[in-house]
Chains A and B, each alone.
Chain A
Amino acid sequence: NAGVMQNPRHLVRRRGQEARLRCSPMKGHSHVYWYRQLPEEGLKFMVYLQKENIIDESGMPKERFSAEFPKEGPSILRIQQVVRGDSAAYFCASSRADLSGNTIYFGEGSWLTVV
């Protein structure tokens, strides 16, 4: 009974490179959410996706960040031209439905370090 799977767990990128973070939701879950946890801050919502659709991206920075959840395969959070301020833990969560009472489970996170 696999939970939300994220990879890589740790990623080091030089400034200007691209980071790609992957998330496979729990079995039976079709709703995926990405959160970011900056050092010394709580988790902040970034984006909500269903298969092939971005439902709510109100928490995504306007530039350099994008997310997708294709028909086949994991959801991808992509950060282009990374800067030191992008260093953070990125968490993916999934749920069976976007309804009150549907438990939202988190993955173990991807820790991005920009050097």
Chain B
Amino acid sequence: GESVGLHLPTLSVQEGDNSIINCAYSNSASDYFIWYKQESGKGPQFIIDIRSNMDKRQGQRVTVLLNKTVKHLSLQIAATQPGDSAVYFCAESGGGTSYGKLTFGQGTILTVHP
């Protein structure tokens, strides 16, 4: 898709499809990872988190996968709905600093077409 506005990666899907949003993190010592959803004019909304002693965690319609070997995190959204349209951020913490001191990824714009 075309990157506009924030020059973020974009993902466009049809309603009902599954979405996969990827994130590469930098600090190999990070041990706690979170996905947030941010709609225009609102604050980040917690979606799901995972600790480094796990490689997969499932929630309602969402799954997070963690690959520590290549420092990669992904968010899978099943049966994507128009209300899922937003910017999605991964965040990492830990590794010797406070857990609330999150380092955010650049974000991905998800657009769901009816």
Contacts and interface: CB of A to CB of B under 8 A. Distances in A.
Interface residues of A, number: 31
Contacts of B72: none
A56 B46 contact: no
B97 interface: yes
B45 interface: yes
Which of A4, A43, A56: most chain B Cβ within 10 A? Answer: A43
A85 interface: no
Interface in B55-114: 89, 91, 93-94, 97-107
Contacts of B1: none
Contact of B98 (A40, A44, A55, A106): A55
Contacts, number: 72
Contacts of A42: 89, 104-107
A106 B44 CA distance: 6
Contacts of B15: none
Contacts of A35: 102
A93 B36 CA distance: 13
Given A56-B98, A109-B42, A104 B34 contact: yes
B43 A106 contact: yes
A95 B7 CA distance: 31
A98 B98 contact: yes
Given A31-B100, A40-B6, A93-B100, A109 B43 contact: yes
Contacts of A55: 98
Interface of B: 5-7, 31-32, 34, 36, 41-46, 49, 51, 89, 91, 93-94, 97-107
14 contacts: A4-B43, A40-B5, A40-B7, A43-B44, A48-B100, A56-B97, A56-B101, A91-B43, A98-B99, A100-B32, A101-B32, A103-B46, A109-B42, A109-B43
Interface of A: 4, 6, 31, 33, 35, 40, 42-45, 48, 55-56, 58-59, 91, 93, 95, 98-109, 111
